[in-house]
Amino acid sequence: MSRISACIHDEEGGALIETAVVLPAFLLLLFGFFCYAIVLQGYAAATFASWAGARYASVSSSTSLSPCTSAKVSALAANYLYAVSTTNETILTTWLPANTIGSTVNVSVKVKYAVQIPFFGQTSISVGNSAVRVIVR
């Protein structure tokens, strides 16, 4: 009886058990930080890519010395993105109403990231931004 009682009231190994309980939650939090950091970086990259694309399009209208096309804007903007594959990048350039001086150009960049957080399986997060500029040249 005294041996069982001693075993029940024994507090040795308590820290180990607490660590085992907290570890999954801690890892969840830690890997969440990692994933979120990558996605945030992707958001910043998409913002800059749309900015650079819109800037290029705004000085390269169809009447300029080197007219830009949707493909050229996409190629330029894609330089600033860090997606795993180009199929995860969506770059849309729209001119309103046309690719001429005085119109506006909208460059929208979206990047899809696959994220894997413990216990939540694999999901994907899409981030993106767009920039609008008036065409001047």
- Binding residues vs another protein (CB under 8 A): 51, 55, 59, 104, 131-134, 136-137
CA distance 115 to 92: 24
Dihedral over Cα of 57, 63, 67, 70: its sign = positive
Place of tokens 């001047």: 136
> Whose Cβ is closer to another protein: residue 35's or residue 54's?
54
Q: Tell me how far apart the alpha carbons of residues 8 and 99 are, in angstroms, rounded to a whole number.
A: 80
Nearer to another protein, 74 or 108 (CB): 108
Q: Which is nearer to another protein, 80 or 88 (CB)?
A: 80
- Name the minimum Å distance from CB 66 to another protein: 16
The answer to whether 43 and 35 are in contact (CB under 8 A) is no
CA-nearest of 21, 26, 31, 2 to 120 is: 31
Q: How far is the CB of 10 from another protein (least distance, A)?
A: 21
Q: Which is nearer to another protein, 78 or 132 (CB)?
A: 132
CB of residue 84 vs another protein: minimum separation in angstroms?
Answer: 27
The CB-of-37 to another protein minimum distance in angstroms stands at: 17
